[in-house]
Chains A and B, each alone.
Chain A
Amino acid sequence: MSTPSIPKSNRMPVGAVQCDNTTLNLLKANDFVAKAIRDRLPEVLVINVCSSPGSGKTTLMQETARRLSDKLNMAVLVGDPETDRDAVRMKEVGINALQIVTGGMCHIEAQMILQALDHIDLTGVDLLFIENVGNLVCPAAFDLGEDIRVTVLAATEGDDKPKKYPRMFLTSELMVVSKADLLPYVPFLVEAVTQDAREVNPTIEVMTISSLKGEGMDEWCDWLLAKVAEKKAKLATA
């Protein structure tokens, strides 16, 4: 192998050059698998839950399952770079959960979900949460075959996040401000974060909750029940 000493762009090509203008999508493979997931789960509402690490996604899953246990059947696929700690936490409170260990990867790709579907029993499940790897950047680019994307933002993270991570908030239908019980103690204004998020995504819904104290949990659960009903109604008319 010869090491080029001049920039490649300065080298003259040998012989005539032929050009091909094209549009080869580099996320094509992921989008193809995402569609396969949608086709496979026509009766299940799939929600992709994204956030930074430590925003309270797993605690929200636990509290949601507890409150909705007699109203619907829920399951969770949870992604982390390493360990099965989150799945263990959820199974401890009786949630049908499966850990996806991404092996260091910063996001879940559709292929991982498709493979995981073979290892979780979704018989009778109405609502499947995908708890994504804690990261507001990379997961935004990967369609996991979800119906809805929700971003959780903890009050402790600061109210200036939506513009810093625009694609995540742009592709989310709902922003959940979590750890609302800490709002009196941190410089975080729900109005400010709502304005920032709506400048990125004018149609984003905003909800303020505390999984531990219960604030906003009724609204969140009602929203979920309505979305599950909406999906079932769509299937019935299809």
Chain B
Amino acid sequence: MHEISIVRNVFETLQETYPDKFERITKVQIEAGLLSNIQPILIQNAFEALIVEEPALAEIELEVILLPIIAHCDACDRDFEVKRHKFVCGCGTPSKNIVQGEELQISRIEFLENQL
């Protein structure tokens, strides 16, 4: 979906959160749950398109990590991976108590150390 606005959002968020260190960012890692409907390759394309507008971002590496969907089964009191969007535990109990899979967040940022 709307990958361009997501990528823009990434850099606006970083600019807001790290006004002093933004220029020194070398790598940004994004975590996207499978339920966020994010396609990593489209994020990369959108990023390349944004660089044309904002060449200063060209030195930054962007990594997108997809997170599987994990739900919690109350009957077994354990987490299970939701495969093929079937929100049913191995024991047969349905659950939509989602522990992981809806994220869309910046998870890690690397900066160059301040050079004196």
Q: What chain A residues lie within 8 Å of B95 (beta carbons)?
A: 202
Give A175 to B50 CA distance when docked, in angstroms.
Answer: 38
Contact pick for B106, options A8, A24, A140, CB 8 Å: A24
**B30 neighbours in A (Cβ, 8 Å):** 26
B6 x A22 contact (CB < 8 A): no
B85 near A20 (CB under 8 angstroms)?
no
**Contact A17–B105 (Cβ < 8 Å):** no
Task: Please report the C-alpha to C-alpha distance between residue A106 and residue B36 in the assembled complex, in whole angstroms.
Answer: 15
Most buried by B among A9, A107, A138, A170: A170
- What distance in Å separates the Cβ of A123 from its nearest Cβ neighbour in chain B? 34
Chain A CB within 8 A of B37 CB: yes
Residues 80-113 of chain A: 1 if any B CB is under 8 Å from the residue's CB, otherwise 0? 0000000000000000000000000111000000
Task: Identify which of B36, B58, B85 contacts A1 (C-beta below 8 A).
Answer: B58
Q: Which residue of B has the minimal Cβ distance to A13?
A: B26
B35 touches A106 (CB 8 A): no
Q: A20-B108, A25-B104, A26-B6 are in contact. Are A200 and B87 (CB under 8 A)?
A: yes
Q: Is the CB of A23 within 8 A of B107?
A: yes
Please determine whether B26 and A20 come into contact, CB atoms closer than 8 angstroms.
no
Instruction: Give the A interface residue count (CB, 8 A).
Output: 38
| Given known contacts A14-B112, A200-B87, A141 and B96 CB-to-CB distance under 8 angstroms | no
Chain B residues within 8 Å of chain A by Cβ, number: 40
Asked whether B111 lies within 8 Å of A141 as measured between CB atoms, the reply is no
Q: Check B23 for interface membership: any CB of A closer than 8 A.
A: no
A202 contacts B87, CB within 8 Å?
Answer: yes
How distant is the Cα of A163 from the Cα of B83 in the complex, in angstroms?
A: 11
Q: Encode contact with B along A1-35: 1 for CB under 8 Å, 0 otherwise.
A: 10010001100011111111111111111000000
Taken together as a complex, chains A and B put the C-alpha atoms of A202 and B85 apart, in Å, by 12
Among A9, A15, A26, contact of B105 (Cβ-Cβ < 8 Å): A26
Given A26, A138, A166, which contacts B85 in the complex, CB threshold below 8 Å?
A: A166
A23 touching B105 in the complex, CB below 8 Å, given contacts A17-B113, A106-B1, A201-B96 = yes
Contacts of B115 in A (CB 8 A): 15
Measured between C-beta atoms, what is the minimum distance from A227 to chain B in Å?
20
Q: Which residues of B contact A23 (CB under 8 A)?
A: 105-107
Binding site for B on A (CB under 8 A): 1, 4, 8-9, 13-29, 105-107, 137-138, 140-141, 163, 166-167, 170, 198-203
CB-CB nearest 6 A-B residue pairs: A202-B94, A16-B113, A24-B106, A166-B85, A1-B55, A8-B61
Further contacts, 20 of them, CB under 8 A, given A9-B63, A24-B105, A163-B84: A1-B55, A1-B58, A17-B26, A19-B109, A19-B110, A19-B111, A20-B108, A22-B106, A24-B14, A24-B106, A25-B105, A26-B105, A106-B1, A137-B1, A140-B37, A167-B37, A167-B102, A170-B98, A199-B87, A199-B88
What would be 25 A-B contacts, judged by CB atoms less than 8 Å apart?
Answer: A4-B58, A8-B61, A17-B26, A17-B111, A20-B111, A22-B108, A24-B106, A25-B104, A26-B10, A26-B104, A26-B105, A26-B106, A105-B2, A106-B1, A106-B2, A107-B2, A137-B1, A138-B1, A140-B37, A141-B36, A141-B104, A166-B85, A167-B36, A170-B98, A199-B85
